Structure 1
Amino acid sequence: MDRITEEELAGRLTPIVLGGDILAYSYARCFHEAYGVITTVYSGVDVKVTSSSRFVDYHVEPAMSEGEDAIVALLRDLGARLSGEGRVALLLGSADWHVRIISRHKEELEQWFVVPYNDFALLDDITQKGRFYELCEELGMAYPKTWSFDCARGELPLDPRELPYPLVAKPSNSARYDLMDFPGKEKVYEVHDPADLTRIFGLLRDAGYDRELVVQDFVPGEDDAIRSLTTYSDASGRLVAVSGGRVVLQDHSPARIGNPVCILLERCDQLVEDARRFCERVGYRGFANFDAKYDERDGTYKFFEVNVRPGANTWYMALGGVNFARLIVEDYVLGRELPYEEAYRDTLYTLVPARVVRDFVSDDGLRERALGLIREGRAASPFDYAPDTIAHRFWAHLRSARQHEKFERYLGRRR
């Protein structure tokens, strides 16, 4: 694709996002703030908080629920049309499985789209949790002690009584697992004893999951021990932007457990330096999102995985001072050399109202710090975008208002 000038962006840039939830709206907000453009979203369902936005051209598209071939066919038709109109179409995915499809077909899709993702060989390699931990070992990055069991084998290859408990179990291939639907499915499984492990292994095997089940040492600590780190690397593999923070609260519903809903922006030197070495070692380009947890037993931050896309909460980078959509455009569309930036303003990213923080954050100091930022007007959600429609604000308010009831259902009242 020929380079274009910044002056041409407002008339030609067309961001295309697959999936309609938090990240899609965050993209749309950032693209509008930076370039004044509308983002086109394709989703299998109508996510009202996004579809009601005046900055989104929202399409409920059956092909998004019909599998990879249907999605690629949709993109072929869309790409040919946009190319014929002289548009600069930037293709983005909200979920892991969107990104895998885009990356797998990257060579073909680049005929029509700017595709800001790594080649599939690299993407597939580092998202296999076993391979990620091999790289952690090589680079001296701390990670939980881990065992992997192939669900395609039909039975556990060792006596589950030999393992230490408690443990945490999760599928190694999250993109494949996300597309499955079966009774008892959870994002992450708590394993308290050998019977639990046997049951969970059998549940996934019988549901047709034929990849590895990763079982890990449980790192003690509540939500506030979890850290999120977002990085951006340029074409040379140089880390050029970083942001992250301490999780104040995460979602505790079974289908969404582990998704942070409140994050205090905060720099952690160990995580930044470890992530820098990882990205440089593998030749990574673009956004990466790392999940880690502080282990009070040895004073280290243990890495769990790398997500090869911005995480759902990446708007915290914009809140911290760096518009994350701008990084992609500057790098992939305008071909500029990016200066090094850090996004760590003293702010609170939150998808929940103050009363959820008040009632469900157990650490006194952290709770008061978070509530103080809310009182001072230094807390925000990506959905808090004043120029947007009344309908968008209604759906955003409704979504936030339901959070307290959900936390009561799954946690009970903490204080």
Structure 2
Amino acid sequence: MSEIIPVFLGADLNCYNFARAFHEAYGVESYAYGRYPMAPTKYSKIVHFTTVPDMDNEDTMLRILHEFAAQHTGKKLYLFGCTDDYAAMIIRRKAELPEYIAPGPAADLYTTVQKKAEFYEVCDKFGIPYPTTKVLTAPVEASELSAAKLGFAYPIIVKPSSSVDYWKFPFDGMKKVYTAKSPDEAAKIVRDIYASGYPDKMILQKMVPGGDDHMRVLTAFSDENGKVRAMCLGHTMVEEHTPHGLGNHAAIVTEDTTALPLVENIRRMLEDCHYTGFSNFDIKVGDDPTDFRVFEINLRQGRSNYYVTASGMNIARLVVEKWNNGGSDCVLNRNEVFWHHVPAQVAFTYTEDKALVEHARQLKAEGKEACSLLYKPDLAWNPVRYACVLEQLRRQFKKFKTYYPKKN
């Protein structure tokens, strides 16, 4: 399969996870472009990264990708964005990149489901529950954000509707998600975000009780005809807690996908929208174990996508073998595996659900375990990469001690 060349925009863990899947499946090396190098792909033998300082400029992106395609004529070029911004750029300009197979949704879906406020409107049509939500289009006085006027109690969650636009306007104290304990605090968060230049809606939500272990992640792959061909459910053990990484999965145990009551609703929604490519859903279950709430959809493979590959459902094979094969079968993963990108001991220490920890320990003992960065073909005879990976893993102990101290 040497005619296959994966090309990624971004250099983060998302990129490495996907590149590893391609290398495992077909023995091919990947190429990546981004504004700056990042630790997960540094010194890798399976990812050839090129720094392009203005890679987030769409004209630059088109030029770089056209040049790469011209240098690799006759090859099957697969193109993926590894961040919301890069994925959005590819979605918007896909028609101008005919040299590439870019499995992602049509441009019109970008405005329909990528933004949380609009996504929730689609969820309503398909009976997909989400947290009780108030949408704002501008700053308001704290008096307008009382619990009585919102219809739910404090503390509440505050976040931008469009994460793509949000990260384009950095400011001090910026976080991925905010928790407000009072109307005054909520009003200040909203005011600060709009003051940065952020142009879209803001989401205020009722907090769903429960810690990281109440989170679930669902990854789906839809072929070029809009048929959902694979779905994989993960039970989050613990998430990252740095300000910019809050909500990113650090460890996951895969579960029987058929056990999620929302699976068929989400499948019907994706197929009705004629969605194509990878979609990734953040879901939380409250104190009622039957009450699942969808938070958002990512129009790409998730950063933690190796949990899908580790379960036996290699995402590179999904793309290469199911994208345009004319089939209609949909595989729902039922295999259990313990995936982590932090040291296993960090996952065991900081996961609050001790029964889940014991289950993960058992899976590890049975050899049903995968750590994204510990990939032997990339570490063998590559001492600099080996040292880099060990340092990344070592630093996780300090990160969790600093940003998640309640479990010390």
Equivalent position to 2:331, from 341, 362, 372 = 341
Q: Which residue of 2 aligns with 1:289?
A: 280
Query: Is structure 2 residue 20 aligned with structure 1 residue 29?
Result: yes
CA displacement at 1:99 relative to structure 2? 0.9
Could you tell me how far apart the structure 1 residues matched to 2:114 and 2:192 are?
23
2:250 aligns with 261
Structure 1 residue 156, shift from structure 2 partner: 5.3
- Report the Cα offset of residue 298 of structure 1: 7.6
2:378 counterpart residue number: 388
In the TM superposition, residue 413 of structure 1 has moved relative to its aligned partner by: 4.8
Task: Summarize the Cα distance change of 1:305–1:119 in structure 2 as closer, same or farther, 3 Å threshold.
Answer: same
More moved, 288-297 vs 157-166: 157-166
**1:212 lines up with 2:201 in the alignment:** yes
Distance 2:68 2:309 in 1: 29
User: Equivalents in 1 of 2:92, 2:50: separation in Å?
Assistant: 23
Name the structure 2 match of 1:92. 80
What pairs up with 1:74-93 in 2 under 5 angstroms? 74-82=64-72, 85-93=73-81
Whichever residue aligns with residue 102 of structure 1, its letter is: I
Give the distance between the partners of 1:346 and 1:298, measured in 2 at CA: 20
SS of residue matched to 2:54: helix
TM-score w.r.t. length of structure 2: 0.92
| Alignment partner, residue 146 of structure 1 | 133
Supply the distance in 2 between the matched residues of 1:242 and 1:358 (Cα, whole angstroms): 26
Q: Which residue identity does 2:86 align to in structure 1?
A: H
Mapping for residues 6-405 of structure 1, pairs under 5 Å = 9-10=1-2, 12-64=3-55, 67-82=57-72, 85-110=73-98, 112-151=99-138, 154-155=139-140, 159-161=144-146, 162-163=149-150, 164-267=153-256, 268-297=259-288, 299-332=290-323, 335=325, 337=327, 339-389=329-379, 390=382, 391-405=384-398
Say whether residues 1:412 and 2:397 are aligned partners: no
1:117-148 CA distance string (max 9 Å, x none): 11110122111212211111111111111111
1:231-267 CA distance string (max 9 Å, x none) = 1122333221111211100011111101110001113
Aligned length: 399
CA distance in 1, matches of 2:160, 2:115: 10
Across the aligned residues of Structure 1 and Structure 2, the Cα RMSD in angstroms comes to: 1.9
Per the TM alignment, residue 78 of structure 1 is displaced from its structure 2 partner at its CA by 2.6
* Displacement after TM superposition at 1:40 (Å): 0.5
Kindly state the Cα deviation for residue 194 of structure 1 after the two structures are TM-superposed: 0.4
**Cα distance in 2 between the residues matched to 1:169 and 1:331:** 38
Distance in 1 of aligned mates of 2:288 and 2:23: 45
Deviation at 1:338, TM superposition (A): 6.1
* 1:210-236 alpha-carbon deviations (Å, 9 max, x no partner): 110111110010111000000112233
TM-score, normalized by length of structure 1?
A: 0.91
Find the aligned partners of 1:410 and 1:321 in 2 and give their Cα distance.
33
> Where does the alignment leave 5 or more consecutive residues of structure 2 unmatched?
none
Asked if the contact 1:104–1:120 (Cα under 8 Å) also holds between the matched residues in 2, the reply is yes
Q: CA deviation at 1:203?
A: 0.5
Q: 1:16-38 deviations in whole A, cap 9, x for unaligned?
A: 10001111111211111222211
CA contact (8 A) 2:106 2:276 kept: no
Q: 3-state SS of the aligned residue for 1:91? A: strand
* Helix, strand or coil at the partner of 2:221: strand
Task: Verify the 8 A CA contact 1:48 1:395 in the aligned structure 2.
Answer: yes
- Aligned letter for 1:382? S
- The 3-state SS of whatever aligns with 1:248 is strand
Q: 3-state DSSP class of the match of 1:387?
A: helix
Would the aligned equivalents of 2:142 and 2:184 in 1 still touch at CA under 8 Å? no
Cα separation, partners in 2 of 1:49 and 1:129, compared to 1, 3 Å: closer
Change (3 A) 1:281 1:339: closer
Q: Which runs of 5+ in 1 are unaligned?
A: 1-8
1:354 CA displacement = 2.7
CA contact (8 A) 2:39 2:392 kept: no
Task: Tell me the CA shift for residue 344 of structure 1.
Answer: 3.4
1:410 is displaced (CA, Å) by: 1.3
Give CA-to-partner distance per residue, 1:262-302, whole Å, 9 cap, x none. Answer: 00111333132222121122111121101110022583100
Cα distance, 1:106 vs. partner? Answer: 1.1
The answer to whether the Cα contact below 8 Å between 1:96 and 1:175 also exists between their aligned partners in 2 is yes
Structure 1: distance between partners of 2:95 and 2:288:
46
Identity %: 32
Give the Å deviation of 1:327: 1.1
Which whole-Å CA distance do the structure 2 matches of 1:124 and 1:315 have between them? 28
Q: Distance in 2 between matches of 1:370 and 1:220?
A: 23
2-structure distance, mates of 1:50, 1:299:
39
